[in-house]
């Protein structure tokens, strides 16, 4: 019998928890940006290199307003709407965002995203 049975059990449980959390994080839909809710959508703080967000033209400072015509209300809602777009709309995603550079303008980013949340086609238009 181990001299430290409680410590060993605690390490085992921590390992299982981290493995489950990692698996869950890998299944989360994502475009590849970090942002915060601002009451009108999600303010984009940072865009990951070579991510779907970058390939579609999303830039830091933009505010993500909607996905496929559905207004984004929160981070949890964004995940739900993005997952729906990929699973129920053949990956077709249309994002409306308010860009801050070079001047404030509403932009539409569209693309086709696969099950791994990578873009196979992207297009950007300004309004």
Q: At a CB cut-off of 8 Å and minimum separation 6, what does 34 contact?
A: 44, 45, 46, 48
**Structure pTM?**
0.68
pLDDT digits (tens, 9 = 90+) for 69-119: 999 989 889 889 888 888 887 778 888 888 776 666 777 777 777 777 666
Q: What's the CA gap between 61 and 54, in Å, rounded?
A: 13
Q: State the pairing for strand pair 33-37/63-67.
A: unpaired
**Cβ neighbours around 112 below 10 Å, total:** 17
For residues 83 and 28, what is the distance between their CA atoms, to the nearest angstrom? 8
């Amino acid at each position: 019998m181990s001299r430290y049975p409680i410590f060993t059990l605690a390490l085992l449980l921590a390992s299982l928890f981290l493995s489950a959390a990692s698996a869950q994080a890998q299944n989360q839909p994502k475009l590849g940006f970090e942002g915060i809710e601002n009451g009108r959508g999600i303010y984009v703080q940072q865009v990951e290199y070579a991510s779907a967000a970058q390939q579609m033209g999303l830039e830091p400072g933009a505010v993500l307003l909607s996905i496929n015509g559905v207004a984004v209300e929160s981070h949890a809602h964004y995940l739900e709407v993005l997952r729906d777009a990929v699973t129920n709309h053949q990956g077709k995603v249309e994002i409306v965002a308010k860009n801050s550079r070079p001047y404030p303008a509403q932009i539409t980013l569209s693309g086709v995203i696969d099950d791994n949340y990578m873009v196979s086609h992207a297009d950007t238009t300004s309004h």
